[in-house]
Structure 1
Amino acid sequence: MLKKVRVQIVTDRFEAKGSLYETPAGKLLPTPLQDMPAKEDIEHMEMTVEASYHDDGDRVCIRYKESELSGMEGSVTSVSFRKSEPALISMLRDGSVKTALVFEPAARHLCVYQTQIMPFEVCIYTRSVKNCIEENGTLEMDYTVELRGAQAEHTAFSMRVLPVFDKPISK
């Protein structure tokens, strides 16, 4: 099934203390509650975009165009998961920015962030994934991301599928 939907994305980001690269496997950076900055130091972003929602019976994929607001205008993002593993999320971006990111609770993944200048290695540690896309249209992820050599950043990400454009996309 392929249909048009609207997707609301909300992120809250702030600099995290420590380094995912320098933290031994099995050890964690401080939790967000221990590390919470002042409200003015949190970067808050909300956007609502038109998207395609594809459910082939095994995998769900939500695909949308990034906007200027996200800083990745010209890129298309796909968020997908297998129904048998709803807590294992893949996020692929293609266009002006290219990434292949993996989010899995309590796991650290090395990924790639490709810019027009050069690729960067990215380390992601996901604290939690709450995937209720099939039940009520929501996905929440809590993770830390770090480009090698840059400050680690904590992100609380939420996506909500809005059931407004629920007609199948014509071919």
Structure 2
Amino acid sequence: MKNVMVRIEGSQRGVDGEENTMEFITEGKQYIKNGAMYLVYKESEISGMEGSTTTLKLQEDEVKMKRFGTTSSDMVFKVKERYTTKYNTPYGDFKMEIYTKKIDRQIDEDQKGNIYVEYMMSIQGLMESTNKLNISIM
């Protein structure tokens, strides 16, 4: 397991066209297990999930994101596939559906680089958005 710096950039555009963006840099841990790369970092107040820890599991054709803490969720991103899960928040549990449009992964031999995920998300019919997530491992 090695220490890395992680930059997370995200944007979310609702059906009304309003776009929200966020960016933060944090320390994280990175390791390889059974051929998959794992990245673990703590969320911040900027992401709106302070008190939660995120674990990314990067495999050849999919990205799995697991969050636990003040908010928790288990999301799977695989191009042109739909994934349904539960989003647990301090305000209650919500059904969440994800449809992944694009994954671009550019990781070098030193395990540095970028992971880009573009996906549609619907939370229990209350909110629908197009999301872009860019994670840089430095």
User: TM-score scaled by structure 2?
Assistant: 0.91
Higher helix share: 1
2:112 aligned with 1:153: no
Structure 2 counterpart of 1:167 = none
After TM superposition, which residue ranges in structure 1, 4 or more long, deviate above 4 angstroms?
none
Q: In the alignment, which residue of structure 2 is the partner of 1:43?
A: 20
**Offset at 1:134?**
4.3
% identity of equivalent residues: 26
Gaps of 5+ in 2: none
Higher strand proportion, which one? Answer: 2
Deviation digits for residues 117-167 of structure 1, max 9, x if unmatched? 4321100010011122345511000001111121211111100001xxxxx
Higher Cα radius of gyration: 1
TM-score under structure 1 length normalisation: 0.75
Q: In the alignment, what sits opposite 1:27? A: none
2:90 corresponds to? 116
Structure 1 residue 56: Cα displacement: 2.4
Gaps of 5+ in 1: 18-36, 163-171
Q: Which residue of 1 aligns with 2:36?
A: 59
- Structure with the bigger RCO (C-alpha within 8 Å, sep 6+) is 1
Equivalent residues in 2 for 1:6-85, closer than 5 Å: 6-16=5-15, 37=17, 41-82=18-59
Asked if residue 88 in structure 1 is aligned to residue 65 in structure 2, the reply is no
